[in-house]
A and B are shown apart, each in its own frame.
Chain A
Amino acid sequence: MTPILRAEGVTLGYDQMPIIENLDLAIVPGAITVIVGANASGKSTLLKGLSRLITPSAGQVTLGGRNIKALPGKKVATVVGLLPQQPVAPDGITVADLVGRGRYPHQGWFRQWSSTDDEIVAAAMAATNTQELAARRLEDLSGGQRQRVWIAMALAQDPEILLLDEPTTFLDVTHQIEVLDLLLERNRERGTTVVMVLHDLNLAARYADHLVVMRAGRIVANGAPVETLTAEIVRHAFDLEARIVPDPVCGAPMVVPIGRFHGRAPTMPAETAHDNQQVVN
C-alpha cells in the first residue's frame, strides 16, 4: 500500500519570499494528479516542496503520516522519486549508465549492484523504449529520446510515487503524447502514483484523475477534471476566457481559448460560462 504524501499547512518559497502559504494537499495514492496553473502560480514550488527539494518554512510534508524530513533520505528515495524540469548529466555518460544510477537508493554498503538491478533497469528501458539507445551517449540523442531516458532513470528508481516537473516541455506533440502514455501505462499497470506539473490544459484534463488548479500560491480547484476545468475556474486561474467542450477523443473537458479576435467577444462572460457548463454537463 502506497503511503500517502501530504502537504500540511506548508509555506514554501525561496530566500524568505513565500510563494505558497499555508497550503494543504493530499496526493491520492494510485492516481495521476496533475498540477496546472499560470506562470508563477507556485506549481513547481509545490512539487519541489513535496519532493523535499525545498524545506517548508512553516507546516510539514508527510509521507505515511510522518514528517518527510525526519525520514532517512535514501529510504524516502525508494518511495518518492522526482524528475526535475532540467536535469543535468556528466559529459559522455551512456544511456545505460545514466538509467542505472536510478538504482542508487536501493544499494548500500553490503548490497552493491545485483542482477535484480539489471533486470529493473532493463524493464525501465523496455517500458520507455530506450533499449536500443543503451550504449549511446546522452548528448548525442534527440530531445524526445533524452526525455525518455530520463524517465527510464526515474522508473529504475522504482518509486511508488513519481513526481515530474513539466515532463513534456521542449517536446513536440507526438513525443508529449508518447511520454504521457508511458506514465499512464505505468500508473495503470503498476499502480504507481504520478504527480506532475503540466502546461497544456487539454493534456492535463485527458491524463489526470485529479486536477489541482493553482493561482497565486493557492489551490483554487482540486478534483476530477470535469469538476475542476470549468470556464469559471479557467477564467479565475488563468485570466482567460474559454469555452469548455468535451474532448472528441476521450470526453474529458477541453479548453478552447477565445482571445480577442475569435468567436464570441468576451463581453458577456456570464453567458459564456453558463453555456460551457451546459456543454460539460
Chain B
Amino acid sequence: MTTLTETKADAAPLAAARAGRRRRNRSVVLVLGGALVVVAAFSLAVGAYSLSVPDLLRTLAGQGTQSENFIVLSLRLPRLTLAVLVGVAFALSGALFQTVLRNPLASPDIIGVTGGASAAAVFGMLILGFGAVATSLAAFAGAVIIACVIYLLAWRGGVVGYRFVLIGVGVAFMVQGLLAYLLSRADLNDAQGALLWLVGSVSGARWQDISVVAVVLLVLLPVIRVLSGRLRALQLGDELARSLGVGAERTRLVLLVIAVALAATATAAVGPLAFVAFVAAPIARRVVGTGGLALVPAALIGALITTVADFTAQHLLPGQLELPAGIITGAIGAPYLLWLLATSNKTGKGA
C-alpha cells in the first residue's frame, strides 16, 4: 500500500515544467513581436519615397518635414495600423472558431462567414447604391446573418463541429454563387469597385475604419482573456468541460458570437482577407507546441501575415502592380489548406 509519501509528492518538477511552457510562450511572443516591429518599420519607411531609420523615428516623434509627415503619418501609418488590427481580429476569430468547434477547417473564411459579408456588401453597393459606411454596415450584417444561418442549420439539440463546418462549406458555395451573379450583371466600373469585397485590401485605410476595429478589439480582447479558462476546458470536449463546471453549449455560443463579431468587423473594414483566420492559430500552436491556446502568438501571426502580405502586394511583386493584400494571403493560405486536407486523416481530429 502506498501512503503519505506519495500524497506529499514533489511539485517542483511540475512548477518547472509550467515555467518552461511559459518561457517558451514568452519567447515566441517576443520573437513575433520583434518581427512585427521590423515589418512595421519597413512598411512605414519603404516605398516610392523611402526614409532612413533616423528620419522615420524623427517623423514618428512628430518632427518630420511636411512631406514626410504626409507620407508616413497620413498614408502609410493608417494602412499599417489597419493591417495589424484586422490581422489580430481575423486571427483571433479563426482561433476561437477552430477551438470551439474543434475543427481546423472551422474558420470564418472557409465556412462562408466572411463570404456572407462580401455578398451583402456587394449587394448593397451594386443593387442598393450604398455609400462607404452603409456598405461596411451591410458587410457586418452579412457576416452575422450567415453565421446565424449556419448555427441554426447545424443545431440538433446542440452544435457539433463537423456538422457546423460541412453546413458552413455548403453555405460558402451558395454565397460565392450569389457574388458571381451580382458581379456578372454589374457594369465593369462598378464591378471594379466591388473587387475590394472579393479579395480584401487595406489600401485606402481611413481613421474611422481603424477606430471601429480598434474599439471592437478593445472591448472583446479582455472578454476573450476572461473566457480563456473556459475555452481551455472546452478543448477537452463537451463532456469533460461540463464535468469541470463549464456549460459547454452556452460557452460555445458566447465564444462564437465573439468570433463572428471579430470576423464581421474586420471584413467590414477591409473585405475578406482570405485565409488569415484559417492559418494564424494553427501556425501559432505549431510554433509554441505546448497544446495551449496560444491566442497571443496567433494574434501576432495574424498581424504579421496581413502586414507582410500588404508589403509584398505593394512593393515586392514585379511590374509595378499594386495588388490587394487579400490575393497574397490567399496564395499563402491555399497550399496550407491542401496540406491540411492531405494530412488530416493522420491526426484524426476531423470531428
A interface list, Cβ under 8 A from B: 15, 48, 51-53, 72-78, 80-84, 87-94, 96-98, 100-102, 104-105, 107, 113, 115, 118-119, 121-123, 125-127, 131, 134-135, 137-138, 157, 185, 189
Contacts and interface: CB of A to CB of B under 8 A. Distances in A.
A77 B2 CA distance: 27
B185 interface: no
B237 A84 contact: yes
Nearest to A107: B229
Interface residues of B, number: 41
B6 A87 contact: no
Contacts of A189: 3
A66 to B, nearest CB: 16
Contacts of B157: 15
B240 A84 contact: yes
Interface in B222-260: 229, 232-233, 235-240, 242-247
B10 interface: yes
B54 interface: no
A101 B236 contact: yes
A93 B1 contact: no
A8 B282 CA distance: 46
Contact of A82 (B9, B239, B292): B239
Most buried by B among A76, A77, A185: A77
Given A96-B17, A102-B244, A104-B245, A121 B232 contact: no
Contacts of A91: 285, 291, 347, 349
Q: What 10 A-B pairs are tightest by C-beta distance, nearest first?
A: A93-B291, A77-B245, A126-B9, A74-B245, A118-B11, A82-B243, A84-B239, A122-B9, A73-B245, A122-B11
B34 interface: no
B61 interface: no
A97 B292 contact: yes
Contacts of A98: 236, 291
24 contacts: A81-B243, A82-B243, A84-B243, A88-B102, A89-B291, A91-B347, A92-B285, A93-B292, A97-B291, A100-B14, A101-B232, A101-B233, A104-B244, A104-B245, A113-B18, A118-B18, A121-B14, A122-B14, A123-B6, A123-B8, A126-B6, A126-B9, A134-B17, A185-B1
